[in-house]
């Protein structure tokens, strides 16, 4: 959420930011019209309240017919006052709904574009693999090695579900634990957070309103439509929601900052609107696990920039440890979320796709989430400011298993395990075909 004063003073910038992100700019005009009416009506209501209080004080000193006459006159005034209060309440509700739709303008260095086709490559790492045999995709490898079972996942839960088994399950756990250990060694606090959260947490981190169709909700559809803010719980699509909300409503001390958190959790996404897209294999599924970096820091753009580089480097380092080739892109405005002001994606090479595929995202929000979370800090002089927040997918599985299996496959159908992961696999160096 943005500061309404900032919006009033930078209307053209906010409108351009909305257009660049594919959001209709006329909501800014609507917001400002309501903002003006709201401020005027607040003044009127406050004046009326003061007048009523003064009148009530005078009436208490009157007697007889004069008192009765004054009370009757006040009753008519009270009816008008009640009507104005109702109007004020309606304006405040509409104002808040519109404020939640106003996007943060992207930084000047962000490329302007419509979708991921307009993202800009800024660097690559590693050499693309070559094979002296016909390589298999991860689905075929998973079936042959008895480590992935998609048909039974679909049978049990529907499309885009799967089973990981045998070394497939162990490899996912190894990837996650290796990444978490690496972050903890760098000073991050590890979290296993709730994966069911209230509407407020989804709203505060910027996923609601607007992203409800992507979330799994607990409760009936009728209940959710009747009162979404009051209904049940929602399954998170990232532990960012829970971990960023950890200090919701708190005032931290500047000396505590930055806070470096690492959440590991199951994640759930409905993938609405992706019918027929990436349906093969483990690329776009409904349930997965992630290690998410969440950073809370002081209100300083330079500090945010430094920490963005830090958490992005952490994710790159994991891929380099796995010796997986990747590229980093600057995400364009049209491919960014409402609250993000700068974002990088890391795309890892996937032989079966003959291309890079997105495996990580790294986002800077400045005050956007903190304002919704009412998350502030106190500096040495006692001044209070809203924090800045950032987050990054340090690893997500099973998507990362696609390049791991496909790049490390061998001619005999086995798959080597990256050296750094072998201690997490009980010393196992290779996944081999099971004897029938």
**Catalytic site residues?**
269, 284, 358, 361, 399
**Ramachandran area for residue 166 (φ above 0: left; ψ -120 to 50: alpha; else beta):** left
Backbone angles phi, psi at 205, to 5 degrees: -95, 0
Which residue, 116, 118, 112, is CA-closest to 19? Answer: 112
Torsion of CA 135, 139, 140, 142, to 10 degrees: 110
Pairing of strands 148-149, 163-164: antiparallel
């Amino acid at each position: 959420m943005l500061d309404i004063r900032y919006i009033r003073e930078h209307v053209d910038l906010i409108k351009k930011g909305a257009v660049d992100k594919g959001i209709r700019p006329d909501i800014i005009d609507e917001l400002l019209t309501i903002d003006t009416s709201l401020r005027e009506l607040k003044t009127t209501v406050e004046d009326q309240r003061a007048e009523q209080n003064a009148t009530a004080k005078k009436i208490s000193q009157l007697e007889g017919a004069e008192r009765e006459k004054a009370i009757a006159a006040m009753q008519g005034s009270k009816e008008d006052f009640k009507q104005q209060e109702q109007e004020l309440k309606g304006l405040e509700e509409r104002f808040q709904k519109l404020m939640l739709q106003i996007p943060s303008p992207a930084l000047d260095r962000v490329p302007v574009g419509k979708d991921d086709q307009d993202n800009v490559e800024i660097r690559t790492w590693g050499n693309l693999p070559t094979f002296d045999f016909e390589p298999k995709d991860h689905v075929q490898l998973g079936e042959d090695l008895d480590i992935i079972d998609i048909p039974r996942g679909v049978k049990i839960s529907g499309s885009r579900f799967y089973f990981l088994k045998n070394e497939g399950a162990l490899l996912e756990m190894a990837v996650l634990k290796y990444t978490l250990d690496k972050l903890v060694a760098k000073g991050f606090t590890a979290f296993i957070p709730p994966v069911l959260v209230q509407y407020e947490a989804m709203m505060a981190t910027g996923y609601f309103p607007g992203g409800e169709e992507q979330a799994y909700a607990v409760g009936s559809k009728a209940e959710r439509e009747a009162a979404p803010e009051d209904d049940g719980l929602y399954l998170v699509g990232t532990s960012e929601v829970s971990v960023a909300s950890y200090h919701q409503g708190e005032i931290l001390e500047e000396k505590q900052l930055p806070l470096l958190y690492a959440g590991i959790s199951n994640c759930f996404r409905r993938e609405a609107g992706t019918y027929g897209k990436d349906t093969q294999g483990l690329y776009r599924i409904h349930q997965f696990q992630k290690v998410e970096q969440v950073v809370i820091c002081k209100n300083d753009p330079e500090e945010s920039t430094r920490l963005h580089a830090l958490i992005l480097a952490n994710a790159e380092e994991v891929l380099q440890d796995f010796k997986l080739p990747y590229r980093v892109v600057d995400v364009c405005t049209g491919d960014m979320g409402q609250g993000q002001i700068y974002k990088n994606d890391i795309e890892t090479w996937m032989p079966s796709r003959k291309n890079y595929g997105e495996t990580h995202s790294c986002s800077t929000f400045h005050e956007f989430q903190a304002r919704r979370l009412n998350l502030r800090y106190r500096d040495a002089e006692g001044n209070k400011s809203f924090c800045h927040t950032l987050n990054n997918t340090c690893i997500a599985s099973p998507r990362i298993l696609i390049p791991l299996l496909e790049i490390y496959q061998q001619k005999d159908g086995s798959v080597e395990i990256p050296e750094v992961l072998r201690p997490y696999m009980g010393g196992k160096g290779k996944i081999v075909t099971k004897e029938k």
